[in-house]
């Protein structure tokens, strides 16, 4: 194994508070009812537009007729608050350090917009920890399409059978399956162990340190 590609939200960082805060502020500005943190947790994983479509539906805009307005407001609010109360999960810094000592290349692939993905990674982990950071951007299909994985592999000059994908949701498991690379699901994130298993995850870990043993 030469490289690990990580999802961000719910895998490396607990970003639920920043996401919930930004969605609620967007809905308030639109004059709509707020959603709960648990609803936001379930809506995360398929990119910002899907998050807002689900949030609008839960808040009363059933046909997402105001989605363009919502995206404009959310983009502005989230850009200013994407690191709001964001922290790495317990054990993540030590796991990353252990992987680097083993000579493993590290990458982040997220459905969060690219600029905010880079901003969160830079603020929480620093500039030089990850060899590649890629969020959702024009021209690259979002997960679970494997295109983002292939882009990362090209940047890292790594083959599929030398890489491990690590994530906390059914979207991540499907991404790895579609890309035909090995996958490890993490049970500390936004989805349950049962959801990961139903999606097809063959390996699920409960603590970051277990990834070092797996690699």
Active site amino acids: 7
Cβ neighbours for 124, distance < 8 A, ≥ 6 positions apart: 12, 13, 83, 86, 87, 88
| Maximum separation of any 2 CA atoms in the chain, in Å | 51
CA 158 to chain centre: 21
3-state secondary structure of 90: coil
Task: For residues 162 and 170, give the distance between their C-alpha atoms in angstroms, rounded to a whole number.
Answer: 22
Whether the CB-CB separation of 165 and 172 falls below 8 Å is answered with yes
Distances in whole angstroms, Cα of residue 5 to Cα of each of 25, 104, 151, 182? 32, 10, 11, 10
Task: For residues 25 and 183, give the distance between their C-alpha atoms in angstroms, rounded to a whole number.
Answer: 35
CA 14 to chain centre: 10
């Amino acid at each position: 194994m030469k490289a690990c590609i990580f999802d961000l939200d719910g895998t490396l960082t607990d970003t639920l508070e920043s996401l919930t805060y930004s969605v609620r502020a967007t809905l308030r500005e639109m004059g709509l009812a707020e959603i709960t943190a648990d609803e936001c947790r379930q809506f995360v994983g398929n990119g910002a537009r899907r998050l807002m479509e689900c949030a609008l539906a839960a808040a009363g805009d059933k046909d997402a007729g105001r989605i363009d307005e919502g995206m404009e407001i959310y983009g502005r609010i989230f850009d200013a608050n994407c690191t709001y109360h964001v922290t790495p999960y317990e054990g993540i810094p030590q796991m990353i350090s252990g992987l680097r000592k083993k000579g493993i290349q590290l990458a982040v692939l997220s459905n969060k917009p690219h600029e905010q993905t880079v901003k969160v990674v830079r603020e929480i982990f620093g500039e030089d920890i990850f060899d590649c950071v890629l969020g959702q951007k024009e021209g690259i299909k979002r997960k679970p399409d494997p295109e983002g994985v292939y882009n990362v592999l090209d940047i890292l000059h790594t083959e599929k059978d030398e890489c491990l994908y690590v994530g906390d949701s059914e979207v991540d498991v499907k991404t790895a399956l579609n890309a035909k690379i090995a996958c490890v699901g993490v049970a500390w994130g936004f989805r349950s162990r049962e959801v990961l298993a139903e999606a097809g995850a063959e390996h699920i870990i409960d603590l970051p340190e277990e990834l070092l043993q797996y690699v």
